[in-house]
Amino acid sequence: MDTGLIIFIVAAVAALCLFVAGVFLLAGLGWALIGAAVSFLAAAGFIRKGLIGE
């Protein structure tokens, strides 16, 4: 399996987990988790764009 694909999947799953945890808490820490989820989704998007460009 391609290393880039594995990193993409890990980043996307981490973003989903952080988002779900952030929505569950939705307090000070919750907003931080949602912000981290957005960051991971952006990273996954860049990785996906790089994988498609191959």
Per-residue pLDDT tens for 5-48?
Answer: 888 889 999 999 988 888 888 878 888 888 889 999 898 888 88
User: Do 37 and 22 form a contact (C-beta atoms < 8 A)?
Assistant: yes
Q: Residue 54 has what pLDDT?
A: 62
Buried b (16+ CB within 10 A) or exposed e, 13-42: ebbeebbebbeeeeeeeeeebbebbeebbe
Q: Which structural domain range is residue 31 located in?
A: 3-52
What is the domain count for the chain?
Answer: 1
Residues composing the chain: 54
Residue 51 — pLDDT band, cuts 50, 70, 90?
Answer: confident
Q: Residue 24 has what pLDDT?
A: 85
The answer to pTM > 0.95 is no
